Structure 1
Amino acid sequence: MRIIRFVEGDARVLAALTDENQVYPLPDSDFMTLVRRADREGCSVLEAVNRQIAGAVPSDKDFGSLALAAPIDAPEVWAAGVTYLRSKEARNYEATGGRLDASTFYDKVYDAERPELFMKSTAARTVGPGGDVCLRSDSSWQVPEPELALVLDGGGGIIGYTIGNDMSCRDIEGENPLYLPQAKIWRQSCSIGPAIRLADTMSDPYKLTITCRIFRDGEKVVEESASTGQLKRKLDELVAYLAKDNILFDGTVLLTGTCIVPPNQFTLAPGDRIEIDITGIGTLTNTAVSA
């Protein structure tokens, strides 16, 4: 079971989306309201949804025709870095000016007990499916970073899974590690969606295939796939470090790192269409535009 939001007139409608792509509008206004309702009823979110749609007739609207919005207005989006070997290799390449056999402090980050965690975005900087992601004006080497994203409650519980695009400036990050905030955070530099897969319906988050496709002028110029099984750290480990002596707001999203990096000579251009697909969640599509 997945949860989506779509735009209908001036309203955003929360809905349940079955694996057969049947759409059932829900009475709650947003995802966290649904979660809190389930808490009050003493049941799981899945049970609450099943109660609401039991005996209901699905919408006559085709899922593919819906104007999807971000499934949640995440008050904060955090991200984990260098959680995959491929990410470590890419960071080393950036930090050494293009050496393929280089070792840097990113090796230490990859092997350390403490993971790298950083603030990525806020609700005002985050876009949903179909939205535009911005290309930073002072960077000449920018890429999407497709990531499995965790939707958390205020206690650090994983209540769902979605897709995140951690837009990144490889040249700025490679120039100096202290420039990480500028390499990661700017207007519309993050997207999430298109749905939240309820945690109760995720059989194994370490057996998901992530695929990233990039199209330019209608032609596919990048396509790469990888598995979340390559993740070096456990998801609960990342959440535990994020929650330590911290405040977690209901609906916080944590991006878990990327295992896909486009070819080193590639950079996004205005008009590029980015598609990120994760097994059982859906496909997050965005278009790159100039900032």
Structure 2
Amino acid sequence: MLPYSNPTPGATLIGRIWLPGQGPALVRVDGDQVVDITCADYPTAQALFDAPDCVLVARALPGRVVTDLATLAQASLNAGADDLRLLAPADLQAIKASGVTFADSMVERVIEEQAAGDPDRAEAIREKVTRIIGDSLSGIEPGSADAERVKAVLKSEGLWSQYLEVGIGPDAEVFTKCQPMAAVGFGAEVGLHPISSWNNPEPEIVLVINGGGVIVGATLGNDVNLRDVEGRSALLLGKAKDNNASCALGPFVRLFDGDYSLDRVRAAELSLTVSGDDGFVLEGASSMAKISRDPASIVAQTVGSHHQYPDGFLLFLGTLFAPVQDRDAPGQGFTHHLGDDVRIREAALGELRNSVNLSTRCPPWTFGTAALMRNLAQRGLLT
């Protein structure tokens, strides 16, 4: 699995690394070699993804070999502030996320809301909701006449929810996951806000959209989620989703070409493994074939004449994964422990690996957009 080895040698894989004593560098994967392709024309991932034919440009750029994938992966797991390591493969782009895009996870959002963020109440509510909803949401097209009929039934049962509104209604939920430059990469710690006691990883495919609104590639993401905080109120979504190190991306962006396209994303099968120091192991999966909204439709609701992203954006597509396996006590389901090892895998995109800590204990985010611009200028990479 990437980044230990490259199972897709024909793929165009673009990433970012930290070069000791220098700063961020744009890299390409050639076989198992990591090649620095940073230059004045393309000093950032944003600039490369905005190129008229970014695949051809990315493949043609000269560079120098920095290291190999296995060495880089190992270095990234124990990296200090100025050590060689993988960074999130995005820089100036906005980081957006779509939620409630799968029926199963949609039901779990309803349960969170009904439980008001209390995991002790979740199991009883899950039984009631499942009994009433059943498989009525399976295969429903959001905004369709069938969706409206299901909506009427749920209202009559007192189960209508704002989560069901964005899950089967005409409008997708799209929110800001974090600021540009705030995401962490492979090997970094991911952060939980210390007020949370009910939380989970969310394994997702993340689309890369350039400044012209064109989808140019995809990567993996962990949309770290605080179930208790969001369950108390959907208006706490920002607190539940956007904290120090709460967004992980990587290991690399795979650019769309003749062998890899949005159709491959639509058919992707993600797997998740969480391993704890307590011996607990959670395994899960998310099948993109079961998504309720087509990825292109979510992108179209995000960018267009109503909203522009001149620096481009990355878009989490949501997850089917909704953990209910008990960890600490019967009926309480899953929640993270500090030190959990989280691995998200997909055959075409590789493996994103992170460890879990509190946001207050993760390395503070200090290298933002202004710091990047100063760094590139000092290195003579801004024209």
TM, length-normalised to structure 1 = 0.89
Inter-partner Cα distance in structure 2 for 1:112 and 1:186: 29
Contact map agreement 2:212 2:312 (CA 8 A) in 1: no
Inter-partner Cα distance in structure 2 for 1:8 and 1:219: 35
Call closer, same or farther: CA 1:86–1:249 in 2, change over 3 Å: farther
Contact map agreement 1:127 1:190 (CA 8 A) in 2: yes
Which of these residues, 3, 27, 41, is aligned with residue 15 of structure 1?
27
Residue deviations 1:46-90, cap 9 Å, x none?
Answer: 11123236xx8x837321111211112144211111101121121
Letter in 2 for 1:46: V
1:1-291 correspondence runs (5 A): 1-11=12-22, 12-18=24-30, 20-28=31-39, 29-36=43-50, 38-39=51-52, 44-52=53-61, 59=65, 61-66=67-72, 67-97=85-115, 98=122, 99-100=125-126, 101-102=128-129, 103-105=159-161, 106-200=163-257, 201-203=259-261, 204-217=264-277, 219=279, 221-244=281-304, 245-263=306-324, 265-290=333-358, 291=360
Deviation at 1:242, TM superposition (A): 0.9
Contact map agreement 1:213 1:220 (CA 8 A) in 2: no
Deviation at 1:194, TM superposition (A): 0.8
Q: How many pairs were matched up? A: 282
Call closer, same or farther: CA 1:96–1:62 in 2, change over 3 Å: same
SS at match of 1:61: strand
Deviation at 1:124, TM superposition (A): 4.6
Deviation at 1:261, TM superposition (A): 2.0
When structure 1 is superposed on structure 2, of 4-13 and 89-98 the one drifting more is 4-13
Letter in 1 for 2:169: A
Task: Give the gaps of 5 or more residues in structure 1.
Answer: none
Deviation at 1:14, TM superposition (A): 1.9
Residue deviations 1:166-225, cap 9 Å, x none?
Answer: 111101111222222222122221111110010224242111111111111284511112
Deviation at 1:108, TM superposition (A): 2.7
Inter-partner Cα distance in structure 2 for 1:60 and 1:135: 33
SS at match of 2:265: coil
Call closer, same or farther: CA 1:205–1:269 in 2, change over 3 Å: same
Call closer, same or farther: CA 1:64–1:220 in 2, change over 3 Å: farther
Inter-partner Cα distance in structure 2 for 1:170 and 1:2: 33
Deviation at 1:109, TM superposition (A): 2.1
Inter-partner Cα distance in structure 1 for 2:348 and 2:160: 36
Letter in 2 for 1:115: A
Inter-partner Cα distance in structure 1 for 2:323 and 2:70: 28
Q: Which has the higher strand share?
A: 1
Deviation at 1:30, TM superposition (A): 2.2
Deviation at 1:21, TM superposition (A): 3.1
Residue deviations 1:233-268, cap 9 Å, x none?
Answer: 111111111114223142411111111122261111
Contact map agreement 2:90 2:181 (CA 8 A) in 1: no
Letter in 1 for 2:212: G
Inter-partner Cα distance in structure 2 for 1:49 and 1:127: 23
TM, length-normalised to structure 2 = 0.69
Inter-partner Cα distance in structure 1 for 2:56 and 2:89: 19
Inter-partner Cα distance in structure 1 for 2:92 and 2:107: 30
Inter-partner Cα distance in structure 2 for 1:139 and 1:248: 32
Inter-partner Cα distance in structure 1 for 2:228 and 2:71: 38
Contact map agreement 1:73 1:251 (CA 8 A) in 2: no
RMSD of aligned alpha carbons: 2.1
Inter-partner Cα distance in structure 2 for 1:178 and 1:61: 45
Deviation at 1:123, TM superposition (A): 2.6
Inter-partner Cα distance in structure 2 for 1:279 and 1:30: 26
SS at match of 2:317: strand
